[in-house]
Amino acid sequence: MATERVAKTSMDSVCFSCGSQGPRVFYGRKDVPVHSVLLMPTREIAVNYPKGDIALSFCRECGFIFNQAFLPDRQEYSSSYEGTQAFSPTFSEYARGLAERLIDRYNLRGKSIMEIGCGKGEFLSLLCELGGNRGVGFDPGYSEGRIKSQTGSHITVIRDVYSERYADHIADFICCRMTLEHIQGVGGFVRALSRSIGDRSDAIVFFQVPDASRILREAAFWDIYYEHSSYFSPGSLARLFRRCGFEVLGLWKEFNDQHITIEARPSSGRHFPPLAQEEAPDALGRDVEHFSTHYTAKLARWRRDLERRWRNGRRVVIWGSGSKGVGFLTTLDLRNEIEYAVDVNPYRQGTYMAGTGQKIVPPAFLSDYRPDVVIVMNSVYAGEIRQSLNGLGLTPELIIA
Give per-10-residue mean pLDDT for the chain (401 aa). 42 87 95 96 97 98 97 90 95 97 97 97 95 96 78 83 92 97 97 94 96 98 97 98 95 97 91 91 98 97 97 98 98 95 98 98 98 98 98 98 95
- CB proximity list for 355: less than 8 A, separation 6 or greater: 32, 33, 46, 47, 49, 51, 326, 329, 330
CB distance 2 to 28 below 8 Å: no
DSSP state of 275: P
Which residue ranges make up each domain of the chain?
Answer: 3-66, 89-284, 312-400
Task: Please tell me the CATH code under which domain 312-400 is placed.
Answer: 3.40.50.720
Convert the pLDDT of each residue in 98-154 to its tens digit: 999 999 999 999 999 999 999 999 999 999 999 999 999 999 999 887 777 655 568
* Three-state secondary structure call for residue 239: helix
pLDDT per position as a tens digit, 32-69: 999 999 999 999 999 999 999 999 999 999 999 999 99
Backbone angles phi, psi at 360, to 5 degrees: -95, 125
Q: Residues 103-109: contacts with CB within 8 Å, 24+ apart? A: 103/127, 103/130, 103/131, 106/173, 106/204, 108/133, 108/172, 108/173, 109/133
Residues 16 and 14: their CA atoms lie apart, in Å, by: 6
- Computed over every residue of the chain, the mean pLDDT equals 94
d(CA 332, CA 304): 10
89-284 matches 312-400 in fold: yes
Where are the extended beta strands (E) located within 107-211? Answer: 112-116, 134-138, 155-158, 173-177, 204-210
Asked if 355 and 31 touch (Cβ cutoff 8 Å), the reply is no
Which phi and psi (to 5°) does residue 273 adopt?
-70, 160
SS3 309: helix
Does 89-284 carry CATH code 3.40.50.150? yes
